[in-house]
Structure 1
Amino acid sequence: MLYRRFERLIDVFKAPPAGAAPDKVWPFYFYYLRQVWPSFAALLVVGLIGSLIEVSLFSYLSRIIDLTRETPTAHFFGDHAAELLWMAVVALILRPVFIGLHDLLVHQTISPGMTSMIRWQNHNTVLRQSLSFFQNDFAGRIAQRIMQTGNSLRDSAVQAVDAIWHVVIYAASALVLFAEADWHLMIPLITWIVLYSLCLWYFVPRVKARSVISSEARSRLMGCIVDGYTNITTLKLFAHTDLEQQYARQAIGEQTEKTQLAGRLVTSMDVAITTLNGLLIVATTGLALWLWTGSLISVGAIALATGLVIRIVNMSGWIMWVVNGIFENIGMVQDGLQTITQPNSVTDKAQAPALRVSEGAIHFEQVNFNYGKSRSVINHLELAIRPGEKIGLIGPSGAGKSTLVNLLLRLYDLDGGRILIDNQDIAQVTQESLRAQIGMITQDTSLLHRSIRDNLLYGKPGASDEELVRAIRQARADEFIPLLSDPQGRMGLDAHVGERGVKLSGGQRQRIAIARVLLKNAPILIMDEATSALDSEVEAAIQESLETLMTHKTVIAIAHRLSTIAKMDRLVVLDQGNIVEIGSHAQLLAKQGLYARLWQHQTGGFVGMD
């Protein structure tokens, strides 16, 4: 019950404060720490009391030694029972209680709760990023930064709190206790504090800077390795294991070199502080013995001074590693900032309404787009699609077909013009509502590494078993789903498909994708080479299902096999981002233009040949 109470102090899934996380290190820390400030405030209080108890034990040791010298043995317990009892209470009850509270706050509250909260909020931030964000980075590096930032921020914050009280309480208490015994004992400690601070002032910023560089190299290494694993099929097909090893070798070598450079500073700092610690022990102990020989301090004061100095020396080593760890973690957080705080290039307007589709009319109105390049990919494109009309997009590679579809889905924002659905500008409505009204079957079908059922329910999360079975049957996926199994023994709809669906053939993935869109049943349908992975027999078998799927929907179909879209209401031919021809299959053949040349290429003839 006690554990459970502490584990519930931080709401892992709490909504973040309004506004994006800051892109500077200290505001970034404050952004998350203020969300869990009661837990850290409690940790500060507990740490303060715990540090005072630790110092009091050394004071008790000095006191006991002096009492044994001043009190006859027969009267020792009788004369000092109350004082000794209080010392026992502090050592046996208060110390374990406050150490326990400290551990509960760190291990039950802050460590799991704060870390998971940061990961949850950062993951949600990254999920809302535009498509270009993911195209410009390694998936592995993004995931690495999401995972490491939560850990590093938590560790550095907890270590800083612990270090603050140990430094302040031990140094201040030692100075007070030394002053009570003899003020001369303060001289070595004050000198050591100044030199120790200068040492940290010199080394720590340099360790931090090199830790940032090391963390960046570690992220690149992770991205490199995950990229190789993700594309393992390509690696095997081209028999380039040696080439991939060389690629990883270079990344590992770079990461090792950056880590070693950071390690040089750490080693130098360790040697410098160890030397200072030796000087503190020798100077304090020698001075205490000299004062004792002059009857200026007691034996208990010698024990107190020596014990406290040894404790401070041990603590200084711990503080050094803590400070090094804090700044190494700050370096990792700073590395993570590069990913987490990137501004989203595609955002919803404030108070944007949901898109409402009643008819499905689409209007591309003077659309311009260039992917940030100097040359436009789409040039002043004007196209009106009537409700329920079936449009085929045709053109050579790079003509802008897939770009036009991506713009309709608002995966990118336009450089000029508007796209309207039922007279609603898609830039003025929420992205979620826009994409909810569009079903899409892509050429490169990618499935989640989950069960067949989970992948299908992406189309309609609340679908009934009857709806699920109907969609599977219409997509002709019922021929293979019951036969599927995975290494964990899961069968049929419960079988997992592997990363990106690699355990299924291309045709099987395509049929799952078709079933998913059948289940979604959106009023606008986009098919980008929807049957490209199917053999002719399966394609013919599900053609009727596709025609059923297209009924009463506005359809945009992209196909390189022109025979698959020849029956569309209109064919739109694109070339270099411009519409060069529009018409039916028969009309475009009669024009003897680009479409006719593409058609003759595919049917075995060439323009100008008899």
Structure 2
Amino acid sequence: MSLLDPVYRLFESWIDPFKPRQDYEPPNRLLAYVWYYVGQAKWAFAAMLLYGFLNAVIEASLFTFVGKTVDILAAAETSGIKAQGWSGLAQNHGWQLLVMLGVVAAGRGIVIAYGALIEEQVIVPGFFTMMRWQSHKHVIAQSLGFFQNDLSGRIAQKVFQGGQATGDMMIALLQIIWFIAVYAATTLTLLSSLDIRLGGVVVLWIIAFVVIARKYVPLIRHHGKLTAEAGSLLTGRMVDGYSNIVTVKLHGASSSEEHFIREAMVGQYEALKKFTRALSGVRISLSSVSGLMIAMIGWLSIDLWLAGEISTGSVAFALALTLRLNLLLGRLMGNLNGFFRSAGTAQNTMELVAQPLGLLDAPDARPLEYSEGHIEVRNLKFHYGKGSGVIDRLSLDIRPGEKIGLVGPSGAGKSTLVNLLLRFHDIEGGQILFDGQDIAKVTQDSLRSRFSLVQQETALFHRSVRENIAYGRPGASADEVIAAAKKAHA
């Protein structure tokens, strides 16, 4: 057990990822979608915002300290304080050195520890898991058709990646982009305090950066979204093939499966090339502008020093601050790339997760009241939304205990009728009654809990045999599980 465990637990308790909600359906617009989840952890992200500000101010202060230290040492050498050693420095500049030491040795460490705890103990485990859980809760409530019309691997990937992509996007925005924005503003203020012309060069630098960003950011965002979608499709196809590997092997379909995967991989490859071209363009443009601005600030600083308007320490401070700003702006563009890559993934996830539920319980739906198991189908119509075909004006009366067989060619609607009895789809006309209750007016879970369905294909979860047998009755005893297995001749 670590001495820091109580501190970790304190921060980890900020977000309860499994806290129930009335509604799990997020908005289908990106900003509203992000805020739907971020708003549930707003204090954690506000703490991250504060960290970005404090970290930027301290970072800029370090270079101020470098300049101050150079000036103190230069003055000590010319005034004879150097000969007095540490006692002379302490007597003449003790408070300045003490403040700088306190910020570097203690203040900076505290701020960085605070930021690490917010990111690693609050955002990553709490927010990521909360978003994944709530996305899963909404997706798992979707209709059967939702899952039949997409690849299971792709759905799972989007649900899992959505939490990380949105969290990474917010961390990049508040911890990195915000940090660099504050640092740039601090640099502008400090250099302007030396000479307004130095501040003017920084302003030109920032304007050039904004122009470059305005040109490339939309491109990066667009191609980031396309790359994320292509990657999701590729993953879905690969998982689909691996999940059905027996079918692939039995039919000798390795070649056709390879072509199917290659087609998706080529699409992802082409999308990725366009995305990386935009990244290269922005890096080249930014590097050219930054080189020119560093040279201008260096030349102007030396010119001011020659004119006696700034000290040697100020030159060192200005150049160090400028070089650091150059590194941070380069890092900013890289993080903007990551930010929009994450935004593309988040938007791609949103388009799946934020879909309204396709099959809802009626507002006044009640649990099914079982009495004897009498099923009535009255003038049933169902055409899969095509206007005709499949089932038209079908009526059945299945009495309690009665066994019936449905016979017909493939596509006649036998499986469709079973799916309608279970309300996997809403009927387009007529009624289905269970013990006199319209199944459209009872809850879906209570209806399906009264049916036992042997499907055409074998479906096993990657869990124990007992868990598979008892899936419909999680509280079943060992004896009940064994009895069920014997009845099924398992």
Q: Is the shorter-chain TM-score for this pair beyond 0.5, marking a shared fold?
A: yes
Q: Which residue of 2 aligns with 1:198?
A: 211
1:222 shift after superposition? 0.7
1:351 shift after superposition? 4.1
Q: Which residue of 2 aligns with 1:27?
A: 32
Alignment coverage as a number of residue pairs? 477
Matches within 5 A, 1:549-588: none
Q: Which residue of 1 aligns with 2:74?
A: 69
Residue of structure 2 aligned with 1:10, choices 15, 33, 39 = 15
Cα distance in 2 for residues equivalent to 1:51 and 1:126:
40
Q: Which residue of 1 aligns with 2:125?
A: 112
1:381 shift after superposition? 1.4
Cα distance in 2 for residues equivalent to 1:401 and 1:168:
64
1:198 shift after superposition? 0.7
Equivalent position amino acid for 1:15 in 2: P
SS, match of residue 366 in structure 1: strand
Residue of structure 2 aligned with 1:223, choices 227, 232, 236 = 236
Give aligned-pair identity as a percent. 39
Answering whether residue 194 of structure 2 is matched by residue 184 of structure 1, we say no
Cα distance in 2 for residues equivalent to 1:296 and 1:281:
20
CA shift digits 1:151-181 (9 cap, x unpaired): 1111011100023432332122112211221
Question: Residues 464 and 325 of structure 1: is their aligned pair in 2 closer, same or farther, counting only changes over 3 Å?
Answer: same
Residue of structure 1 aligned with 2:306, choices 293, 297, 300 = 293
Residue of structure 2 aligned with 1:40, choices 45, 50, 74 = 45
Cα distance in 2 for residues equivalent to 1:19 and 1:223:
24
Higher relative contact order (CA 8 A, sep 6+): 2
Equivalent position amino acid for 2:224 in 1: S
Equivalent position amino acid for 1:134 in 2: F
Equivalent position amino acid for 1:6 in 2: F
Q: Is the 8 A contact 1:215 1:335 kept in 2?
A: yes
SS, match of residue 406 in structure 2: strand
SS, match of residue 230 in structure 2: helix
1:130 shift after superposition? 0.7
Q: Which residue of 1 aligns with 2:139?
A: 126
Matches within 5 A, 1:337-352: 337-352=350-365
The runs of at least 4 consecutive aligned structure 1 residues that moved more than 4 Å come to none
Equivalent position amino acid for 1:114 in 2: F
Q: Is the 8 A contact 1:110 1:154 kept in 2?
A: yes
SS, match of residue 210 in structure 2: helix
Cα distance in 1 for residues equivalent to 2:276 and 2:482:
60
Equivalent position amino acid for 2:235 in 1: M
Cα distance in 2 for residues equivalent to 1:255 and 1:66:
56
Question: Residues 284 and 17 of structure 1: is their aligned pair in 2 closer, same or farther, counting only changes over 3 Å?
Answer: farther
SS, match of residue 223 in structure 1: helix
SS, match of residue 278 in structure 2: helix
Q: Which residue of 1 aligns with 2:253?
A: 240
SS, match of residue 360 in structure 1: coil
Q: Which residue of 2 aligns with 1:54?
A: 59
CA shift digits 1:292-346 (9 cap, x unpaired): 1111111111111101100100000110011111111111111112211122211
1:4 shift after superposition? 2.0
Q: Which residue of 1 aligns with 2:401?
A: 388
TM-score by length of 2: 0.95
Q: Where in structure 2 are there 5+ consecutive unaligned residues?
A: 1-5
Cα distance in 1 for residues equivalent to 2:153 and 2:146:
13
Q: Where in structure 1 are there 5+ consecutive unaligned residues?
A: 478-610
1:372 shift after superposition? 2.1
Answering whether residue 277 of structure 2 is matched by residue 272 of structure 1, we say no
Residue of structure 1 aligned with 2:425, choices 412, 415, 422 = 412
TM-score by length of 1: 0.76
Q: Is the 8 A contact 1:368 1:376 kept in 2?
A: no
Cα distance in 2 for residues equivalent to 1:160 and 1:356:
53
Answering whether residue 334 of structure 2 is matched by residue 321 of structure 1, we say yes
Answering whether residue 87 of structure 2 is matched by residue 82 of structure 1, we say no
Answering whether residue 164 of structure 2 is matched by residue 151 of structure 1, we say yes
Equivalent position amino acid for 1:428 in 2: K
Cα distance in 2 for residues equivalent to 1:248 and 1:474:
43
Residue of structure 2 aligned with 1:94, choices 83, 87, 107 = 107
1:16 shift after superposition? 3.8
Cα distance in 2 for residues equivalent to 1:17 and 1:287:
62
Cα distance in 2 for residues equivalent to 1:7 and 1:37:
15
Q: Relative to total residues, which structure has the larger helix share, 1 or 2?
A: 2
Equivalent position amino acid for 1:37 in 2: K
1:212 shift after superposition? 0.8
Equivalent position amino acid for 1:2 in 2: V
Matches within 5 A, 1:151-170: 151-170=164-183
Q: Is the 8 A contact 2:301 2:318 kept in 1?
A: yes
SS, match of residue 137 in structure 1: coil
Cα distance in 1 for residues equivalent to 2:355 and 2:20:
19
- Which of structures 1 and 2 has the bigger CA Rg? 1
Q: Relative to total residues, which structure has the larger strand share, 1 or 2?
A: 1
1:466 shift after superposition? 1.8
1:389 shift after superposition? 2.5
Pick which of 354-363 and 203-212 moved more: 354-363
Cα distance in 2 for residues equivalent to 1:165 and 1:57:
19
The RMSD of aligned alpha carbons is: 1.4
Cα distance in 2 for residues equivalent to 1:135 and 1:464:
33
Cα distance in 1 for residues equivalent to 2:438 and 2:154:
35
1:29 shift after superposition? 0.4
Q: Is the 8 A contact 2:364 2:441 kept in 1?
A: no
CA shift digits 1:275-295 (9 cap, x unpaired): 111111101011000011111
Q: Is the 8 A contact 2:52 2:176 kept in 1?
A: no
Cα distance in 1 for residues equivalent to 2:484 and 2:179:
65
